Amino acid sequence: MKSLANPFRLERISQALGNLYQKQEKVYLALAAMMTGLGYFLLALPPIMTLVGLLNVLGGISSASTFTAWLSVLFWMLVTAAAGIITFSMLRSKTQMPSGLGLKEDKAPRLHDLIAEIGEVYKLPSIDRIIVHDHCTLDMIAVPRFGLPVLKTNVLYIGLPVLQSLSPVQFKGSLARKLGQFTAEHNKLTHWIYRWRKYCALYQRSYSRIKSPLYMPIKLFFKIYTPIMEVFTVHAARKDELEADMYALQIMNDNELADVILRQEVCSEFLKTKYWPKIFAMLRKNPNKPEHLPHINMPTVMRKTLTENEFAQIMNELINAEPTWKDGMPDLHARLEHIGQTKLDMPPPVMETAAQRYLGDAFSAVIKLLDKQWLAKNGKSKSASGNDKQDVDPAAVKHKVKKGAPIDNDSSMLETTEVDDSLPLEEQKYQSLRNKARQASLNENEAFELATYSEKFEGKAAAIAMYQKILKKDPNHAKTIFAVGRILLSSNDPSGVKILEKAMQLDKGCIAQACWMLAKYYKALGDEDRSKEYLERAANVSAAA
């Protein structure tokens, strides 16, 4: 007889449930709810049996007068002992908190302001902890504090790759989607099922690491129950994810949400299939000090490598792909169709990342720490490893690097000509150019490169000042004009329009990119005709190329 855990049998069950969901959605949801309720009941059964057993033992002892009655007392003593042991193990266990860097409010005030702004739109419960991690996921989860999901810690789990691949506006939409989903204001049934799936995954992972035989019964329960439950509830989870997209529509329109969905899905696939394999290939060549560390270089690589053609290719592959029978996330086509989007417009390139905007002073510290942890975990040298969970303190990082490190905008931090070779290559290059600029004049290319790094490490204002110095020497430097126009337009300054138009006249290579930005700008203003003109112009340039 085949076990229910057999994947081939589970796959057939999943297909049958999929057909039921298509034909009788309410019947399927009732079945998924029953499977979820069964899980809660079985998890609560040991404490219930412990209490019932104690009452029966005490009552039986006081009234037992026959051999049969004493056998009944003995039976209930054994049941109470077994249930008590399981209950004790559940109460004693602690669910493992997701790993990452704890981010306190004073370290990223803009992020906390954004959360407060979104919280005014939804009835958002309090967030107990914000964790930044190295996976390309964004989630809001309730972590049970022990073996019963009674007391919980609400954790906002933010992937640095998500922050690095989305613009501030796109990240706001993605964050609103998850926070709205967590409130379950319009999706109570499906989110109850969805959240139970999360609990089971957390419990299974936590108990799988415990070797004590005391935890064997509860460990065995989740090992058998979880895969069966996931099969019975996968379509409910997909429905809840579709409802999550609807929450985002409360703060943005369907076109903007489509950009968020496309950008996040395509970037996630690009990182998984192209970026990380390349990073690990470099690590294998030099395990002690690879050519590039992943997080500091991620935005630059994505801007250069994720071209329009590459983006379109990955997008088409995702549109035509179907989720596996285990996948609780609906496919890209279903998500776009659910929000009424059938026409696929290419999202514009991301010039300022959400990480730069919302992490603020903690930006460099978060990247350094996650890169160090990544190298300690995957490289040959393990000496740099530390706690998975710690609170980010940029000041603490400052003391660990040499005086020339560009941690903040304080020029007094940059008085030395020494370059810290322990920093990622981009920051080493930035230090080197700053040191050279203090001693001699930079050529045009070096000055532009320094301004670009300055925008990344010091902010837009510092970059604008450097770009203006370049334009004093060469008023027709196309790349600099484009950079200034891009920054102004991202700040909703209308003067950026004329500046981008001038950049397109001087350099045809930037026409497509500038047109995408101008189309989005006019669309946000409600000028659909101007937006369409720029979209068509960008498409014509791309087709001609």
Q: What is the DSSP string of 314-331?
A: HHHHHHH----TT--SPP
| Confidence category of residue 403, pLDDT binned at 50, 70, 90 | very low
Query: Averaged over 506-525, what is the pLDDT?
Result: 86
For residue 416, the model assigns a pLDDT of 36
Share of the chain above pLDDT 90, in %: 36
Q: Where are the beta strands (DSSP E) in 104-255?
A: 129-133, 138-144, 152-159
Domain end (from 338, 367, 388): 338
Residues 130, 265, single domain; the answer is yes
Domain end (from 309, 338, 367): 338
For residue 426, the model assigns a pLDDT of 65
Residues 76, 166, single domain; the answer is no
Quick check: is 333 in a domain?
yes
Count of positions (residues) in the chain: 545
Quick check: is 229 in a domain?
yes
For residue 291, the model assigns a pLDDT of 79
pLDDT digits (tens, 9 = 90+) for 472-508: 888 899 889 999 988 888 888 888 899 999 999 998 8
Residues 41, 118, single domain; the answer is no
Which of the two residues, 408 and 60, has the higher pLDDT score?
A: 60
Query: Averaged over 90-112, what is the pLDDT?
Result: 85
Q: Say which residues have a Cβ less than 8 Å from residue 388's Cβ, sequence separation at least 6.
A: 99, 100, 373
Residues 312, 282, single domain; the answer is yes
Measured between alpha carbons, how far is residue 190 from residues 33, 99, 325, 411 in Å? Answer: 8, 27, 18, 53
Q: Is the pLDDT of residue 230 over 90?
A: yes
Within 152-215, where are the H helices? Answer: 160-165, 168-183, 188-208
* Separation of alpha carbons 394 and 407, rounded Å: 8
Residues 115, 42, single domain; the answer is no
For the chain, the average pLDDT equals 83
Quick check: is 517 in a domain?
yes
- DSSP output for 88-102: HHHHH--PPPPPEEE
For residue 264, the model assigns a pLDDT of 93
Quick check: is 214 in a domain?
no
Terminal Cα-to-Cα distance of the chain (whole angstroms): 61
For residue 542, the model assigns a pLDDT of 53
Residues 152, 301, single domain; the answer is yes
Q: Is the pLDDT of residue 404 over 70?
A: no
Residues 107, 49, single domain; the answer is no
Quick check: is 397 in a domain?
no
Quick check: is 205 in a domain?
no
For residue 421, the model assigns a pLDDT of 54
Question: For the domain that residue 510 is a member of, what is the CATH number?
Answer: 1.25.40.10
Which of the two residues, 213 and 384, has the higher pLDDT score?
A: 213
Structure tokens at 531: 């937006």
Query: Averaged over 236-246, what is the pLDDT?
Result: 94
pLDDT digits (tens, 9 = 90+) for 149-169: 888 999 999 999 999 999 999
For residue 65, the model assigns a pLDDT of 80
pTM: 0.68
Query: Averaged over 16-38, what is the pLDDT?
Result: 94
Domain end (from 285, 305, 338): 338
Residues 22, 159, single domain; the answer is no
Residues 187, 276, single domain; the answer is yes
For residue 144, the model assigns a pLDDT of 92
pLDDT digits (tens, 9 = 90+) for 291-348: 788 898 888 888 888 888 888 888 888 888 888 888 889 999 899 999 988 767 777 7
For residue 412, the model assigns a pLDDT of 29
Residues 445, 515, single domain; the answer is yes
Residues 24, 108, single domain; the answer is no
Quick check: is 429 in a domain?
no
Number of domains making up the chain = 3
Query: Averaged over 362-370, what is the pLDDT?
Result: 88
- For residues 145 and 84, the answer to whether their CB atoms sit within 8 Å is no
User: Domain limits at 56?
Assistant: 7-92
Range ranked top by mean pLDDT from 3-12, 58-67, 373-382, 419-428: 58-67
Burial of 277 (0-12, 13-18, 19+ CB in 10 A): exposed
- For residues 95 and 146, the answer to whether their CB atoms sit within 8 Å is yes
Query: Bridge-partner residues for 155, per DSSP?
Result: 129, 141
Quick check: is 211 in a domain?
no
- For residues 160 and 370, the answer to whether their CB atoms sit within 8 Å is yes
- Tell me the HSE value of 520 on the side-chain side, using a 13 A CA sphere: 26
Closest CA to 191 of 143, 244, 265, 153: 244
Residues 172, 48, single domain; the answer is no
* Separation of alpha carbons 153 and 528, rounded Å: 45
For residue 6, the model assigns a pLDDT of 53
Query: Averaged over 405-411, what is the pLDDT?
Result: 33
For residue 236, the model assigns a pLDDT of 95
Which of the two residues, 259 and 392, has the higher pLDDT score?
A: 259
Q: Is the pLDDT of residue 92 over 80?
A: yes
Which of the two residues, 462 and 381, has the higher pLDDT score?
A: 462
Instruction: Tell me the residue type at 535.
Output: L
Q: Say which residues have a Cβ less than 8 Å from residue 195's Cβ, sequence separation at least 6.
A: 142
For residue 157, the model assigns a pLDDT of 93
Which of the two residues, 409 and 419, has the higher pLDDT score?
A: 419
For residue 541, the model assigns a pLDDT of 67
